[in-house]
Chain A
Amino acid sequence: MNWSRWCGPLQRLRSCALACALAIAGIPALARPPLASAPDEPIQPVPWTLSPNPARAEIGRLLFHDVRLSGNGRVACASCHDLAKGGADGRVRSIGASGGLTGTNTPTVLNAALNFRQFWNGRADSLEAQVDQVVRHPVEMGSAWEDVVRRVSQDPKYRGAFAAAYLDGVTMANIQNAIASFERTLITPNSRFDRFLRGDARAISEAEKTGYAMFKRYGCIACHQGVNVGGNMFQKFGVMGDYFAQRGQPAQADLGRYLVTGQERDKHVFKVPSLRNVALTAPYFHDGSAKTLEEAVDVMFRFQLGRIAPKEDRDSIVTFLRSLTGEPAAAP
């Protein structure tokens, strides 16, 4: 806290000096937009970095793409969380190590570090716990930690890297932490909308600004707020109507948070998903039932907001949502 107090003026001074230098040189300012966030906005820009340990994150990057984490060596984290596909796989439900289908649609790994819980029903408190559950899940990776630790230990490259980055070498906790460290690098700052939030009024189009106003006016913002535009609270799916009755084919995963707490009122309660990079991560909802953003927004209007909106307003909101696509964070 004290650090930032001392650092603030310094940073201001530095950006001032930079601006002066650029002005003198007559070069258009290419510097990143100012760090100042928009204090009154319900959405906050993604930070530039979460400062994970670089050595650990690098191990995590290797592990993230390593099929040895799965029981039969068929899938890696990246199999479902394809970084080229917005950190998900574009399927309604993903295919696990043994070919089985996962219970829910795969949430994106991008900006997962900014979520307050992990999984659709928020059953993991941390990224590490999320890694743990996925690796042991019989459908997803179908592995046992002693096997994973053994397989990773057998690789001298991993052994050396772990020995350099951790006091106690290759352990279950360190593997989880390494992957979590890598996931902390998978944030997407500097979306056009974030640039707008940081004060660049021309970063988004007028249509997108209108969309943002709609987003707020229609009450989407009641749940999709904060730095991750969601991901910081739970909400019942079907506040203003019974979504599941309308959809049919009830599944166990539809029970949501009830599976964690066992409380009646937690039935159909899910973590509000982040809308960051939402344009890249179709299909939508825990059941992957919405193929397009338009469909998804319509469902939201009907079952969450209890509103009837004209198509233009819905499209306007979708236009705004597309401005939330960010860039991969700089390597730590």
Chain B
Amino acid sequence: MRTRNRSTWLAIAAATTLLAGVLIFLYARSRAYDEAGYLENVALLLDLKQQGAQWELDVLKSRIGLYKHYDPLARTRMDLGVLLDKLESQTTQQRHDQAAALGAGAAAVRTAVDDRAALIERFKSVNAVLHNSLAFLPVAAADVQQLLEQSRGDAAAQRASARVNHLLLDSLLYTQSTSNERAAEIRSCLDLLEPDQRQLPVQVRTRLELFRSHIGVVLREQPVVDELLGAIAAASPSMRIDQFNEVLEAEQRRAAEQTRRYREYLLVFSTALLGLLLIAAFRLVRSHAVIRRVNQALQGANENLEQRVRERTQELHQAHSELMATARRAGMAEIATNVLHNVGNVLNSVNVSVGLITAGVRDSKVQGLAKAVGLMREHADDLGRYLTGDAKGKLLPGYLEQLSQALLAEQRGVAEELAALARSVDHVKEIIAMQQAHAGSSHLVEPLQVGQLVHDALRMNQEGLMRRRVVVDEQLPPIPELALDRARLLQILVNLIGNAGQALESLTDRERQLRIAVHIEQESILRIEVEDNGVGIAPEHLTRVFAHGFTTKKDGHGFGLHSAVIAAREMGGTLTAHSDGPDTGARFVLELPIKLGEDIQ
């Protein structure tokens, strides 16, 4: 059972791990591509492209003189450098499948930008020189013309002046549209100027030489500027940026495709998981319903049981109180029966005594005395002669003597009977007193003879014992008077003896014996044993015989032994029951504390 449980748990754990693993794998694969990173890169590339275009625009503006300084060009170059650094750090920090291709792409973009930067640097230098010369050409021409003016009339000077004007115009036109023909024309014009120049004064010659050198600069630098502008336009990093972008896009497409595929897997997997979950939920709900049903049934049974227990308890209570009432009534009736029976017995002897006394008085010799007294009154005159002389009279003294003896005897008899009568009346008083003790009305401790009390108890049960022909074995050694609660002790003894008599009633196979033994133990305990050889007590009943309401008798009420044990406890003693089991007889032992050698007065 335990191993089965463990293997089940292991299987569940393994399944959970597997499902979680699949889930995490699919999730990780579906998220492997950093879309935000891609968008960042695209934004960066757009920015790069725009700055590249801006750069080209800056160059053109510088070329046509819209920009009067090169700060914008330098600034754009710096911005591009920052963007390139960002692109490189971004692509190396992000996860890329095509990391090498992207690295190469970024390097290509940087090379393109650097190449263009070099072209633009050259453009700036050359353009500055060209601009400077172009700006100076009219001034230089004017200077030359002013000096030529002074030597007017000189043919060489006039030709030179015309040629200078021609050169100036051609140069300006050349800057507007560069062509080799015009350059050749300018060069030939310069050559033509040469011989005239030599004929001019030194001052003019110097100026003219300056003019020529600037024309030379224009001729030299203008094509370079044009070429550089073309090269700058051609060296746009846009193509490299687009190539980089294509790599990125391809990667993004692949990643998006992969993400989409893994998302589909994830969806399928999730659906399967959901199905499992639904099944589990269904089963859970079902088992929950079963549990609830069983629970409800249990609760119902429980409530029913409680109701029944309550009812039974109530019934028991009712029965108990009824029993108590019955017991009280029955106990009182039994006591009354006992008392009346005993009183009846005593009344018999009272009756006998009264009959004897009545008969004695009726048949009294007092009448003989009366006759004798009558004779004497008749012979009052000669009493002496009569007594001595007369025959009859001579018999009279003797008769009187006999009569007085008879009367004495008669008086003695009546007195004896009266004494017996008085004793019987006392007995009745005792019986009534005992009944009062049963009612618990008197708890007087008084000196008493235990033996006498045992006799009284036996006599009070005399009728039952005699009817059952019980042989009573009294073991009553002489013991001194003891101070005891007479009524309680008598009550206990009457109960024990009565019970013993009843226990002996059904006995047929052997002599019915009752033994009462009294002795003092260790000078402090009075021990009275009441033992019979009757039906005995079952072991399971031994502990319960003293319980209130316990009885084995058909008409019993479970009151006697209970009140007896209570009385024993009230006297500071114990009452215990002993039996070896059914049909082996029973022995009740009453032990009471006593104080010997004390003045019982």
Residues of A in contact with B (beta carbons under 8 Å apart)? 40-44, 116, 125, 219, 221-223, 225-227, 232-236, 239-240, 261, 265, 269, 305-308
Whether B594 is near chain A, meaning CB under 8 Å from some CB there, is no
Whether B555 is near chain A, meaning CB under 8 Å from some CB there, is no
Smallest CB–CB gap between B433 and chain A, Å? 115
Secondary structure class of chain B's binding surface, majority of residues: helix
Whether B593 is near chain A, meaning CB under 8 Å from some CB there, is no
Whether B122 is near chain A, meaning CB under 8 Å from some CB there, is yes
> Which of A125, A222, A261, A269 interacts with B128 by CB under 8 Å?
A222
Cβ–Cβ contact A233 & B124, under 8 A: yes
> Which of B77, B129, B133, B214 interacts with A116 by CB under 8 Å?
B77
Some 23 contacts from A to B, beta carbons below 8 A apart, are A41-B68, A42-B69, A43-B69, A116-B74, A116-B78, A219-B132, A219-B136, A222-B128, A222-B131, A225-B69, A226-B69, A227-B69, A232-B74, A233-B74, A233-B124, A234-B121, A236-B129, A239-B129, A240-B213, A265-B122, A306-B213, A307-B136, A308-B210
**Given A240-B217, A306-B214, A226–B128 Cβ distance below 8 Å?**
no
Docked Cα-Cα span, A116 to B131, in Å, equals 22
Docked Cα-Cα span, A240 to B220, in Å, equals 12
Smallest CB–CB gap between A278 and chain B, Å? 17
Docked Cα-Cα span, A125 to B74, in Å, equals 11
Whether B472 is near chain A, meaning CB under 8 Å from some CB there, is no
Docked Cα-Cα span, A44 to B67, in Å, equals 12
Nearest neighbor of A236 in chain B, beta-carbon distance: B125
**Given A219-B136, A306-B213, A226–B70 Cβ distance below 8 Å?**
yes
Closest 4 CB pairs of A and B: A225-B69, A42-B68, A219-B132, A116-B74
**Given A222-B128, A265-B122, A307-B136, A233–B70 Cβ distance below 8 Å?**
yes
Q: Which residues of the other chain, B, contact A307 by a CB distance below 8 angstroms?
A: 136, 210
Docked Cα-Cα span, A15 to B230, in Å, equals 47
Docked Cα-Cα span, A263 to B133, in Å, equals 25
Docked Cα-Cα span, A330 to B330, in Å, equals 126
Docked Cα-Cα span, A77 to B539, in Å, equals 119
Smallest CB–CB gap between A259 and chain B, Å? 15
Docked Cα-Cα span, A216 to B131, in Å, equals 12
Q: Which residues of the other chain, B, contact A233 by a CB distance below 8 angstroms?
A: 70, 74, 121, 124-125, 128
Whether B506 is near chain A, meaning CB under 8 Å from some CB there, is no
Cβ–Cβ contact B69 & A44, under 8 A: yes
Docked Cα-Cα span, A237 to B398, in Å, equals 211
Cβ–Cβ contact B77 & A40, under 8 A: no
Q: Which residues of the other chain, B, contact A265 by a CB distance below 8 angstroms?
A: 122
Other than the known A125-B81, A306-B210, A306-B214, what 4 A-B pairs have Cβ atoms closer than 8 Å? Answer: A222-B128, A236-B125, A265-B122, A305-B136
Q: Interface centre among B77, B125, B213, by most A CB within 10 Å?
A: B125
Q: Interface centre among B68, B124, B135, by most A CB within 10 Å?
A: B68
Nearest neighbor of B127 in chain A, beta-carbon distance: A222
Whether B191 is near chain A, meaning CB under 8 Å from some CB there, is no
Docked Cα-Cα span, A223 to B131, in Å, equals 10
* Contact code string B51-79 (vs A, CB < 8 Å = 1, else 0): 00000000000000000111101100110
Q: Which residues of the other chain, A, contact B129 by a CB distance below 8 angstroms?
A: 222, 235-236, 239
